[in-house]
Amino acid sequence: MTDPAWISTALSSARPQAVAALLRYFRDLDTAEEAFQEACLRALRNWPEKGPPRDPAAWLIFVGRNSGIDAARRRSKQAPLPAEELVSDLEDVEAGIAERLDGQHYRDDILRLLFICCHPDLPATQQVALALRIVSGLSVKQIARAFLVGESAMEQRITRAKARIANADVPFEAPGPVERSERVAAVLAMVYLVFNEGYSAGATEIANRAPLCEEAIRLARLLLRLFQTEPEVMGLTALLLLQHARAAARFNAEGELVLMEDQDRSLWNRSLIDEGLALIDKAMRHRRSGPYQIQAAIAALHARAARPEDTDWAEIDLLYSVLESMTPSPVVTLNRAVAFAKLRGPEAALKLIEPLAPKLAGYFHFFGVKGGLLMQLGRAEEAREAFDRAIALANTAAEAAHIRMHLDRLSAPSPKSVKANTKAPSSQLQ
Give residues in contact with other proteins (CB under 8 A). 5-6, 9-10, 12-14, 17, 54-57, 218, 221, 224-225, 228-229, 237, 271, 274-275, 278-279, 281-282, 285
Nearest residue to 21 via CA among 130, 164, 135: 135
47-67: burial string, b at 16+ Cβ within 10 Å, e else: beeeebbebbbbbbbbbbbbb
Between 59 and 320, name the residue whose CB sits nearer to other proteins.
59
Longest dimension (CA), the chain: 86
Between 57 and 332, name the residue whose CB sits nearer to other proteins.
57
Tell me how far, at minimum, the Cβ of 187 lies from other proteins, in Å.
16
Between 3 and 381, name the residue whose CB sits nearer to other proteins.
3
337-347: burial string, b at 16+ Cβ within 10 Å, e else: bbbbbbeeebe
**DSSP category for residue 309:** G
What is the C-alpha to C-alpha distance for residues 416 and 305, in angstroms, rounded to an integer?
27
What is the C-alpha to C-alpha distance for residues 111 and 132, in angstroms, rounded to an integer?
15
Between 45 and 304, name the residue whose CB sits nearer to other proteins.
304
* Sequence-separated (6 or more) residues with CB below 8 Å from residue 265: 249, 306, 307
Amino acid (1-letter code) at residue 67: S
Between 180 and 221, name the residue whose CB sits nearer to other proteins.
221
Residue 156: how many CB atoms within 10 A of its CB? 13
Tell me how far, at minimum, the Cβ of 408 lies from other proteins, in Å.
36
Tell me how far, at minimum, the Cβ of 162 lies from other proteins, in Å.
25
Between 181 and 428, name the residue whose CB sits nearer to other proteins.
181
Separation of CA 41 from chain center: 29
Tell me how far, at minimum, the Cβ of 252 lies from other proteins, in Å.
21
Tell me how far, at minimum, the Cβ of 406 lies from other proteins, in Å.
34
Q: Is 256 left (phi over 0), alpha (psi -120 to 50) or beta?
A: beta
Tell me how far, at minimum, the Cβ of 242 lies from other proteins, in Å.
13
Q: Is 328 left (phi over 0), alpha (psi -120 to 50) or beta?
A: beta
Length of the chain: 430
Between 52 and 346, name the residue whose CB sits nearer to other proteins.
52
Tell me how far, at minimum, the Cβ of 104 lies from other proteins, in Å.
14
The torsion angles phi and psi of 257, rounded to 5 degrees, stand at -65, 135
Between 137 and 372, name the residue whose CB sits nearer to other proteins.
137
Tell me how far, at minimum, the Cβ of 107 lies from other proteins, in Å.
13
